[in-house]
């Protein structure tokens, strides 16, 4: 039974029993704590936890999943894979244990003629939790299973929870006996290779707290509603029903394996090492296809890094099998054909998918070519030294210089019988990260030792930070920290720039892409301008200031005040960034996930994952969606909650950011834009004002950047654009709505004029060529033409010289030497026919002789050479020197 058919039967079985069929969610998980959707229940978490009311009482799905924790084991065993599909049925306060068991038994053991799966009921075993008599009794009553085929297991095997406080409950797993050839008898408690788990039924009925591990938690009560969450491994069921031994041999995977074997000229099943490589290829090509299909692009971090690693492992495995040519163009279409019966979008979107994959292979092949020489030299040195081990420095050099991922180095080294100092490599990587962080800090804090700030923090505690609450505070200076004084006791006078730590401040410190506030500090007899605000150590805020009047010292009582207009414009830009991000995801899809941002008053830029430039229509749509949100005046709110709570409501977070137990969730229009954010924002989206996209560009492979202006800057930008259009209209005496047509017509006419001018220049060149050829002089039996036509560049002068040479007769050797001045620069060209070359003359030598006279140099082949200079006054001398060189060479 084909995998797509098993999938169809599963969904239809539950649809017939009142379940809503829910399409698979994207592999890109909305949960910021997850890179990918890793289980079938992930899209249903808000309903299972009660965070959101379920839109249906029963649901069923076949969810795409990716797990990469065991990526190194793929291919080595027959049970590890990265991409898989999880069949599931869900009940949200509707049926419970009996219903779940009845539905599962009917599907698993029902006849294939009736549209079910047709497993032999006598080979079905189940497990239940130790004291779950209700489930055990249901299996006896509904399925007629004997006591010995219902095995009881503990918390580790038959209890489910999220790993955090929340819902949980016992589970019951269904196993299929594959037969004595696969292991000993005795059920799953004896051997889980012979008795293979195919389905897990989770009975979610308790509220858990104090969760320390899978087996260490506290049940605090019953859930208001008892839920069902099940998961059937589609690939496992497929290889059982298809009569093959493992997931690599099912119909959706084995075609790639077979094609890889054909390309490598090997036979699957004859050599374990080859089999491992072929399984890696089959698994990773499919996973790469599915990830790119859901919008993931190769990159150096997060999801992009995982995808890059999968594709490069597949390419490396084919190379180990002896295939040096590009292989993805051969393998990816095979995987598409195998998977598109279940996911037709793979076929319709294959042009985009394949372009991403093939570009990554091309880039990796260049990396391999450049780095392999260094790797081979390092291996030879290691073996010659008697200690076959690559140092951490060598592995780091491969990574840092040639982009070799460490796992590729490890695999290539293992193949050569050489080990790698991986801890040493990791240490060097950590040092590099720390240097980068230190450099970034140094740019913000100068050469001040952070010990000075740590001392202030230890003595006075953290800064009382009031940026969310007010624009003005009464404050006291805790320390003035200069580049040379580190004790916090220095004094700053008028005109000096220094760093000031206050006991409390209303100033926003730069973070999350938002630059710091501007404003002033005022005190009795003094005033300072705030230039920058940073957090040099956690908990402390430092202000870089320029003292305008008076002296500033520790203990000074002052007023700290943020520039109101600056803050408003900064809020507009930061809220505008969230709006643009939401608009991008609405127009392009959830894969257009922010990877970085920067905003200052009136301006924002946002980097996001995307392959290829946006179309003009996409840019218009993004701008329209963003401005519609502005006009709707969505309420902007900021709420504190735990990270799991934020994840449960779908708040977006930037990958790579770290968050504490409490996070700040900023919402614009509720779920329309919901992100983890520590920045300052407007109260309603209408305060953003006009939002205008001003640019879109590439910032690397698989990443794009959009730029925009907001508020008054947005109005001013549009006003400038309007004025420019009006000026062009006045200049061209054309209504503004006809400018495009008018300019297009002018450009077409200019192209026609350029073509006519080129034709005229060609005719003039031909005329000049004839005249020059007729002016040849005899120098020792060699016909020599010299000339200085005006206004020709190097290309046109070369064409003319060749034309003149072609017009010379064959009765004697011919030499042509021409010079021309154009735009203050001199071009030189020498062209000799075969007879002149046979006489020992060289065009390259002639140019080397002539070029110094015009302040330049040149050279070339014996028959044609070219040069140039910057002194047009030397042209006569250059031509004369060339003619004299010919005379000397032929002995006149």
Q: Going edge to edge, which strands form the sheet with 814-822?
A: 777-779, 782-787, 814-822, 825-832, 864-869, 857-860
- Whether 397 has a pLDDT exceeding 90, the answer reads no
- Whether 32 has a pLDDT exceeding 70, the answer reads no
To which CATH superfamily is domain 3-245 assigned?
Bira Bifunctional Protein; Domain 2 (3.30.930.10)
Supply the pLDDT for residue 824. Answer: 86
47 near 92, Cβ under 8 Å?
yes
pLDDT band at 643 (very low <50, low <70, confident <90, very high): confident
Supply the pLDDT for residue 177. Answer: 95
Supply the pLDDT for residue 437. Answer: 53
Convert the pLDDT of each residue in 38-69 to its tens digit. 888 888 877 887 667 788 999 999 999 998 87
Instruction: Pick 450-562's CATH classification: 3.40.50.300, 2.10.10.90, 1.10.1270.20, 2.40.30.130.
Output: 2.40.30.130
Average pLDDT over residues 811-819: 93
By mean pLDDT, which of 271-275, 576-580, 615-619, 640-644 is the weakest?
640-644
Structure tokens at 275: 């089999």
Please report how the helices 711-732 and 739-774 are oriented relative to each other, as an axis angle in degrees rounded to 10: 60
Separation of alpha carbons 352 and 274, rounded Å: 31
Convert the pLDDT of each residue in 438-456 to its tens digit. 554 554 444 455 667 877 8
pLDDT band at 163 (very low <50, low <70, confident <90, very high): confident
- Whether 538 has a pLDDT exceeding 80, the answer reads no
Q: Which of 363, 371, 365, 425 is nearest to 394 (CA)?
A: 425
Return the bridge partners of 639, or none. 665
Structure tokens at 688: 């953003």
Convert the pLDDT of each residue in 85-136 to its tens digit. 999 999 999 999 999 999 999 999 999 999 999 999 999 999 999 999 999 9
Please name the residues in contact with 738: beta carbons below 8 A apart, sequence gap of 6 or more: none
**Helix extents (H) in 139-268:** 155-158, 234-241, 254-264
Structure tokens at 118: 């047709």
Phi and psi angles of residue 682, each rounded to the nearest 5 degrees, phi first: -70, 170
813 near 846, Cβ under 8 Å?
no
Q: Which of 160, 138, 162 is nearest to 150 (CA)?
A: 138
578 is in an annotated binding site: yes
Sign of CA dihedral 367, 368, 374, 375: positive
Convert the pLDDT of each residue in 294-345 to its tens digit. 888 887 777 888 898 899 889 988 988 888 899 999 999 999 999 999 999 8
Work out the angle at residue 99's Cα, subtended by the Cα atoms of residues 96 and 101, and round it to the nearest 5 degrees: 105
Q: What is the 3-state secondary structure (H, E, C) of 678-740?
A: CCCCCCEHHHHCCEEEEEEEECCCCEEEEEEEEHHHHHHHHHHHHHHHHHHHHHHCCCHHHHH
Separation of alpha carbons 382 and 653, rounded Å: 44
- Whether 236 has a pLDDT exceeding 90, the answer reads yes
Structure tokens at 251: 């119909």
Measured in Å, how far apart are the chain's first and last C-alpha atoms?
A: 94
- Whether 348 has a pLDDT exceeding 70, the answer reads yes
Separation of alpha carbons 52 and 63, rounded Å: 20
Convert the pLDDT of each residue in 356-383 to its tens digit. 899 888 888 877 776 777 777 888 888 8
Contacts of residues 410-416 at CB distance under 8 Å and 24 or more positions apart, as own/partner, are 411/313, 411/316, 412/316, 412/375, 413/379, 415/320, 416/379
- What 3-state DSSP class applies to 448? coil
Pairwise pLDDT comparison (210 vs 72), residue with the higher score: 210
505 near 519, Cβ under 8 Å?
no
* Residue matched to tokens 């070219």: 866
Pairwise pLDDT comparison (209 vs 567), residue with the higher score: 567
Phi and psi angles of residue 790, each rounded to the nearest 5 degrees, phi first: -90, 145
**Helix extents (H) in 446-514:** 450-460
Supply the pLDDT for residue 860. Answer: 86
The radius of gyration computed from the CA coordinates of the chain, to the nearest angstrom, equals 37
592 near 584, Cβ under 8 Å?
yes
Convert the pLDDT of each residue in 757-814 to its tens digit. 878 877 777 778 888 988 899 998 899 999 998 888 888 899 899 999 988 888 889 9
338 near 251, Cβ under 8 Å?
yes
Average pLDDT over the chain, rounded to an integer:
88
Supply the pLDDT for residue 711. Answer: 93
Separation of alpha carbons 885 and 236, rounded Å: 85
Q: How far is CA 63 from CA 45, 222, 590, in A?
A: 13, 28, 17
- What 3-state DSSP class applies to 531? strand
Sign of CA dihedral 291, 294, 297, 303: negative
Separation of alpha carbons 103 and 89, rounded Å: 9
Please name the residues in contact with 132: beta carbons below 8 A apart, sequence gap of 6 or more: 152, 158, 170, 172, 203
19 is in an annotated binding site: no
Phi and psi angles of residue 627, each rounded to the nearest 5 degrees, phi first: -70, -30
Average pLDDT over residues 459-486: 85
Supply the pLDDT for residue 15. Answer: 95
Supply the pLDDT for residue 655. Answer: 47
pTM to 2 decimal places? 0.56
Separation of alpha carbons 227 and 96, rounded Å: 7
Supply the pLDDT for residue 440. Answer: 47
543 is in an annotated binding site: no
- Whether 525 has a pLDDT exceeding 50, the answer reads yes
pLDDT band at 137 (very low <50, low <70, confident <90, very high): very high
Separation of alpha carbons 243 and 250, rounded Å: 9
Q: Which of 438, 450, 465 is nearest to 499 (CA)?
A: 450
567-720 fold: 3.30.980
- Whether 556 has a pLDDT exceeding 90, the answer reads yes
- What 3-state DSSP class applies to 552? strand
Supply the pLDDT for residue 872. Answer: 93
Please name the residues in contact with 767: beta carbons below 8 A apart, sequence gap of 6 or more: none
Separation of alpha carbons 690 and 712, rounded Å: 8
Domain boundaries defined on the chain? 3-245, 254-441, 450-562, 567-720, 772-891
CATH 3.30.420.280, domain 772-891, yes or no: no
pLDDT band at 433 (very low <50, low <70, confident <90, very high): low
Q: Going edge to edge, which strands form the sheet with 636-642?
A: 636-642, 662-668, 673-676
Count the residues in the chain. Answer: 892
Instruction: Give yes or no on whether 3-245 and 567-720 have one common fold.
Output: no
571 is in an annotated binding site: no
- Whether 529 has a pLDDT exceeding 90, the answer reads yes
């Amino acid at each position: 039974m084909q995998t797509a058919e098993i999938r169809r039967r599963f969904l239809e079985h539950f649809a017939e029993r009142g379940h809503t069929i829910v399409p698979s969610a994207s592999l890109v998980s909305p949960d910021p704590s997850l890179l990918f959707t890793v289980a079938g229940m992930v899209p249903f978490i808000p309903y299972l936890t009660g965070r959101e009311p379920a839109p249906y009482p029963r649901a069923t799905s076949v969810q795409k999943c990716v797990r990469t924790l065991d990526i190194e084991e793929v291919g080595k065993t027959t049970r590890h894979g990265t991409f898989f599909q999880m069949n599931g049925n869900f009940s949200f306060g509707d049926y419970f244990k009996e219903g779940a068991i009845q539905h599962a038994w009917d599907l698993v053991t029902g006849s294939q003629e009736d549209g079910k799966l047709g497993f032999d009921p006598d080979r079905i075993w189940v497990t239940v939790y130790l004291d779950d008599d209700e489930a055990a009794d249901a299996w006896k009553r509904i399925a007629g299973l004997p006591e010995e085929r219902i095995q009881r297991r503990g918390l580790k095997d038959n209890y489910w929870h999220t790993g955090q406080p929340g819902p949980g409950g016992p589970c019951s797993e269904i196993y299929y006996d594959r037969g004595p050839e696969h292991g000993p008898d005795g059920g799953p408690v004896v051997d889980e290779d012979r008795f293979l788990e195919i389905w897990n039924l989770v009975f979610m009925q308790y509220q858990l707290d104090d969760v320390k591990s899978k087996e260490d938690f506290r049940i605090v009560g019953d859930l208001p509603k008892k839920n069902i969450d099940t998961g059937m491994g589609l690939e496992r069921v497929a290889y059982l029903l298809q009569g093959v031994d493992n997931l690599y041999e099912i119909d959706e995977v084995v075609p790639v394996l077979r094609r890889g074997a054909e390309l490598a000229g090997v036979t699957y099943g004859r050599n374990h090492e080859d089999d491992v490589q072929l399984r890696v290829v089959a698994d990773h090509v499919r996973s790469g296809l599915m990830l790119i299909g859901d919008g993931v692009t190769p990159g150096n971090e997060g999801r992009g890094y995982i995808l890059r690693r999968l594709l490069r492992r597949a390419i490396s495995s084919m190379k180990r099998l002896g295939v040096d040519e590009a292989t993805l163009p051969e393998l990816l279409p095979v995987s598409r054909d195998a998977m598109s019966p279940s996911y037709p979008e793979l076929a319709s979107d294959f042009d985009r998918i394949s372009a991403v994959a093939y570009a990554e292979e091309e880039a990796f092949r260049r990396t391999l070519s450049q780095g392999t020489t260094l790797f081979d030299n390092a291996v030879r040195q290691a073996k010659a030294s008697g200690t076959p081990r690559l140092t951490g420095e060598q592995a780091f050099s491969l990574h840092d210089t040639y982009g070799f991922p460490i796992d590729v180095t490890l695999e290539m080294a293992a193949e050569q019988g050489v080990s790698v100092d991986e801890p040493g490599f990791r240490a060097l990587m950590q040092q590099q990260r720390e240097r980068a962080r230190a450099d970034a800090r140094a740019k913000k804090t100068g050469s001040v030792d952070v010990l000075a700030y740590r001392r202030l923090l230890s003595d006075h505690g953290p800064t009382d930070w009031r940026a969310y609450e007010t624009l003005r505070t009464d404050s006291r200076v805790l320390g003035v920290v200069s580049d040379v004084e580190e004790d916090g006791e220095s004094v700053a006078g008028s005109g000096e720039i220094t760093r000031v730590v206050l006991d409390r401040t209303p100033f926003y410190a730069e973070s999350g892409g938002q630059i710091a506030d501007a404003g002033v500090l005022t005190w009795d007899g003094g005033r300072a301008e705030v230039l920058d605000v940073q957090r040099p150590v956690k908990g402390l805020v430092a202000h870089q200031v320029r003292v305008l009047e008076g002296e500033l010292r520790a203990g000074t009582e002052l007023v700290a005040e943020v520039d109101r207009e600056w803050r408003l414009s900064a809020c507009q830009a930061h809220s505008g960034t969230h709006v643009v991000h939401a608009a991008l995801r609405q127009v392009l899809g959830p894969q257009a996930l922010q990877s970085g941002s920067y905003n200052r008053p009136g301006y924002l830029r946002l980097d996001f994952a995307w392959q290829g430039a946006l179309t003009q229509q996409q840019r218009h749509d993004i701008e329209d969606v963003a401005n519609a949100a502005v006009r709707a005046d969505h309420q902007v709110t900021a709420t504190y909650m735990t990270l799991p709570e934020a994840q449960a409501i779908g708040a977006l977070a930037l990958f790579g950011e770290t968050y504490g137990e409490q996070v700040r969730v900023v919402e614009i229009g509720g779920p329309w834009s919901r992100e983890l954010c520590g920045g300052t924002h407007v109260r309603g989206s209408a305060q953003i004002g006009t939002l205008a996209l001003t640019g879109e560009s590439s910032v690397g492979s698989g990443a794009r950047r959009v730029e925009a202006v907001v508020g008054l800057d947005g109005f001013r930008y549009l006003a400038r654009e309007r004025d420019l259009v009006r000026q062009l209209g006045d200049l061209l005496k054309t209504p503004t709505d006809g400018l495009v047509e008018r300019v297009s017509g002018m450009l077409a006419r200019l192209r026609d004029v350029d073509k006519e001018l080129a034709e005229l220049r060609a005719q003039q060149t031909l005329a000049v060529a004839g005249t020059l050829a007729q002016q040849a002089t005899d120098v020792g039996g060699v016909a020599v033409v010299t000339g200085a036509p005006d206004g020709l560049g190097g290309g046109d002068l070369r064409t003319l010289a060749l034309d003149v040479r072609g017009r010379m007769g064959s009765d004697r050797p011919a030499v042509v030497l021409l010079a021309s001045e154009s735009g203050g620069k001199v071009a030189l060209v020498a062209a000799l026919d075969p007879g002149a070359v046979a006489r020992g003359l060289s065009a390259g030598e002639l140019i080397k002789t002539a070029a110094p006279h015009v302040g330049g140099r040149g050279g070339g082949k014996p028959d044609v050479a070219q040069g140039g200079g910057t002194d047009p006054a030397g042209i006569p001398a250059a031509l004369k020197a060339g003619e004299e060189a010919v005379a000397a060479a032929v002995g006149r």
